Chain A
């Protein structure tokens, strides 16, 4: 089943390119550590999901590119075409000549309705090329103008027109010390609108990925391209094919659907995060070996101590003993020590994957009281190695890890709103104070729900 990607704004388009590139490179990677036949099935499965066929054999990404400025889209198209291995469709992009000045309201109320028909037509074309549509990826940033406002509008439209298809929004959480003054307003408006119309919000934090680039990959001058590549690696390790069930060698047809069913069925808990281990520069890769036990131990501790990468993990954090109240149930004034999960999905790829022991993730202490580990924890496996990593593990988690960042953003936005700073820029284009208040209410409710796990 196929996934159609909608790349929105500068951020979305750059990341989208890296994602498709990572998926393609991995599926054609020669060191798959599995039989030739299985490799072919893996390739075919990945290809069917993300690429469509073309006459002369070059696969075309199932993507629609949208931006209000032509520069980034042109760059993206040419980068893809240059590689010669895959490309974007000729008529899959939409751009205008003007920007949106980081104004969410402009993107939502002006660009959206004005260009709704053209964009939806592009998406419809892409959908019709699929034999079977599993759902949509919508890649966007939360704090900019085009990506966020237009993205919220498009997602709402997709909800209306394709109500049975799944929608996963890949959101880029801005740097805490971001340069856009109104990024907090944009963020809360985006989040609240997406919470209503999307099925799952997969959040990538710029701060976290930046740290990974600096500490783990040893990159001195970190560019957006490096960050995007790390991000693409994380996404690829989740959505590349995996076996459909224990002991089977058939690949899963609908990873998006199963992921959503396992992680985000509850309407109040839709925020997901990814952790990936190991992550290192290619040079170091050749000199490292791993065991599943070691990887999973680190991954588990990353989960419960809310750490973003395998360095600097706080090993002091322990799951609470049964019978005692969770340490996580404290007011937000104090540090949240223990990260309670609602549901987790672990994806293992590589050698001897069937011997990996996942008992540590089935501990009921990790999870909230109203969901037993047998329902809350799932694991996907495949023997085929991912992108030259002999063993790699990814974790998609619906847990409290975004609680603090979310609370921070809401707090900052509220402070600005209380003094009515910059509100006129939004009311000018039809976003009233009422809409702000609605957004605050919804997000406070989300914060409270996560807090009370």
Chain B
């Protein structure tokens, strides 16, 4: 009886493991088949390339749509190694793997397991590739700022660069900046506009019901596609916004008519405000209450809707796989223990030092020597200045120490006030990343999330900080210019006319 049970258990376990691995792999981007995992346990070389690619996709920051051609094998290998090292991966064996990516599948498997165990890897990946539906504005951009951007393309200038070309490029930048500001102003104006007056127009309602796409006035399409173009790249990071098919959007007949209304097409109603007002009561999610631009567009543009549907379905598949993985991951971890067991015992690990390439050794010494020289120079410059300052300060006598004490107390009080404000404001509770805009009636108790007033506060304080930084930078530039101008006697600076 017991034996049979054990066999059943083992049978169940044997079946569960490939399932678990399949679920995991479907959740990950570029996930390889369970067979690859099995081969990796036995350190088979044919499993290595797939695992290198998987680790690369998991560790590298998300590129736009993930559509850029993946770099060469060596570049991938190097990137993975350096990223793992910077995250503190302890096993030396991985760093010693050859760069052509042909070996070491077991080490890679262990690395993957380490990443999975360490932090919410799957959740983070799924959040990055989420399909976004709502009208969003970014609230806190700390994640975006912390992530290093794409490498700046280095343009080697061969020969002297004509300054007119530089001026040309500067001018283009300025124009693009102004375009950006204008479109931002447009967005703000759209949000801030009161309810449009053309709601009570005398035009006939077009009872089109199911006939949307051919009958839609083109201005609406233009307008919403413009909004989409304007909003898409800047906000959600995705070029196309598309609605969720899994939520059934139930539309009463009256709002179908609203969507088909001619006024809806006229430019004056082309606002988020109007979309939010028009579609009130349409959304199946009661807490939101109205459709977003993206959702509205889905209803008008059938082909775009199909595309969106497909993307949502693939996302659903990923999410279901993730749920299955969560239920079955214990099996996977038990199996990983066996993988670790099959590894040969490692030699005692000395502290991990990065391998310094031979030809660079001389340069390192040079750098070290320069650093030392700079430090001494700094010390030499700072000492007499400090002494002079102290002499001056000392010469002021007791009133100076009183001033010092007073200022110290004032600073202390300010710090304490700031700390209290910080704790009271519950600033730690701020959500990060983009937030969905929802228009609700004034006086309705807010659901989760922030009210517009708080967001405005946050943005204002950030604006003040940035302005201060800008002023400081401008002052520095001016001082630098003055220094340069003073440094060359007999040189006259003629500024170009106007802007």
Contacts and interface: CB of A to CB of B under 8 A. Distances in A.
Interface size band for B: 35 or more
Interface string B181-205: 1110110011000000000000000
Contacts of A250: 222, 225
A46 B350 CA distance: 73
Nearest to A370: B162
B175 A40 contact: no
A197 B498 CA distance: 7
Interface string A1-20: 10000000000000000000
A254 B226 CA distance: 11
Contact of B164 (A44, A131, A266): A266
A49 B225 CA distance: 17
Given A131-B270, A253-B226, A445-B497, A266 B186 contact: no
B15 interface: no
Contacts of B222: 41, 44-45, 250-251
B497 A442 contact: yes
Given A53-B267, A266-B171, A257 B179 contact: yes
B273 to A, nearest CB: 11
Contact of B172 (A132, A261, A445): A261
A225 interface: no
Contact of A131 (B174, B186, B497): B186
B183 A132 contact: yes
A197 B268 CA distance: 31
Contacts of B266: 53
Interface in A234-266: 250-251, 253-254, 257, 260-261, 264-266
B459 to A, nearest CB: 19
B270 to A, nearest CB: 6
A267 B498 CA distance: 8
Contacts of A195: 497-498
B404 to A, nearest CB: 45
Nearest to B182: A164
Interface in B460-499: 496-499
Contacts of A132: 182-183, 185-186, 189
A227 to B, nearest CB: 31
Contacts of B162: 369-370
Given A132-B183, A266-B167, A369-B162, A40 B218 contact: yes
A267 B178 contact: no
Contact of A164 (B167, B178, B267): B178
A41 B225 CA distance: 12
A37 interface: yes
Nearest to B183: A132
B239 interface: no
Given A41-B218, A44-B219, A131-B268, A261 B497 contact: no
B175 A261 contact: yes
B124 interface: no
Interface in B241-286: 265-268, 270-271
Contact of A265 (B171, B189, B267): B171
Nearest to B218: A41
B165 interface: yes
Interface string A32-60: 00000100110011001000010000000
A44 B498 contact: no
B153 to A, nearest CB: 15
A260 B497 contact: no
A348 B182 CA distance: 28
A226 interface: no
B287 interface: no
A134 B182 contact: yes
Interface in B383-409: none
Interface string A118-132: 000000000000011
Interface in A252-298: 253-254, 257, 260-261, 264-268
A267 B179 contact: no
Interface in B147-180: 162, 164-165, 167-172, 174-176, 178-179
Nearest to B220: A44
B289 interface: no
Given A264-B171, A265-B171, A369-B162, A48 B219 contact: yes
A267 B181 contact: no
B496 A268 contact: yes
B268 A53 contact: yes
B136 interface: no
B221 interface: yes
Interface string A363-392: 000000111000100000000000000000
B32 interface: no
A166 interface: yes
Interface in A131-178: 131-134, 164-166
Given A41-B221, A267-B498, A254 B179 contact: yes
A280 to B, nearest CB: 32
B304 interface: no
Nearest to A268: B496
Interface string B97-118: 0000000000000000000000
B217 interface: yes
Contact of A48 (B169, B186, B225, B267): B267
Interface residues of A, number: 36
Contact of B189 (A131, A197, A257, A268): A131
Nearest to A369: B162
A370 B165 contact: yes
Nearest to A343: B168
A405 to B, nearest CB: 20
Given A44-B219, A48-B219, A48-B267, A133 B182 contact: yes
Interface in A175-204: 195-197
Contacts of A45: 222
A399 to B, nearest CB: 15
A450 to B, nearest CB: 12
A370 B164 contact: yes
A434 to B, nearest CB: 15
Contacts of A1: 182, 186
Contacts of B164: 266, 268, 370
Nearest to B177: A164
Nearest to A163: B178
Contact of A166 (B165, B170, B178, B190): B178
A1 B186 CA distance: 9
A410 to B, nearest CB: 15
Contacts of B175: 166, 257, 260-261, 265
B497 A44 contact: no
A344 to B, nearest CB: 14
A127 B492 CA distance: 43
A37 B186 CA distance: 27
Nearest to B270: A131
Of the candidates B167, B176, B190, the one having the most CB atoms from chain A within 10 angstroms of its own CB is B167
A63 B222 CA distance: 24
B215 to A, nearest CB: 10
Nearest to A131: B267
A1 B175 CA distance: 16
Interface string A397-436: 0000000000000000000000000000000000000000
Nearest to B203: A57
Contacts of B499: 267
Nearest to A132: B186
Contacts of B168: 265-266, 370-371, 375
Contact of B496 (A41, A264, A267, A369): A267
Contacts of A445: 497
The 9 A-B pairs at the shortest CB distance, nearest first, are namely A265-B171, A370-B162, A196-B498, A44-B219, A132-B186, A41-B218, A261-B175, A265-B172, A370-B165
Interface of A: 1, 37, 40-41, 44-45, 48, 53, 131-134, 164-166, 195-197, 250-251, 253-254, 257, 260-261, 264-268, 369-371, 375, 442, 445
Given A1-B186, A132-B189, 8 more contacts: A41-B218, A44-B218, A164-B181, A164-B185, A197-B498, A257-B178, A265-B169, A268-B496
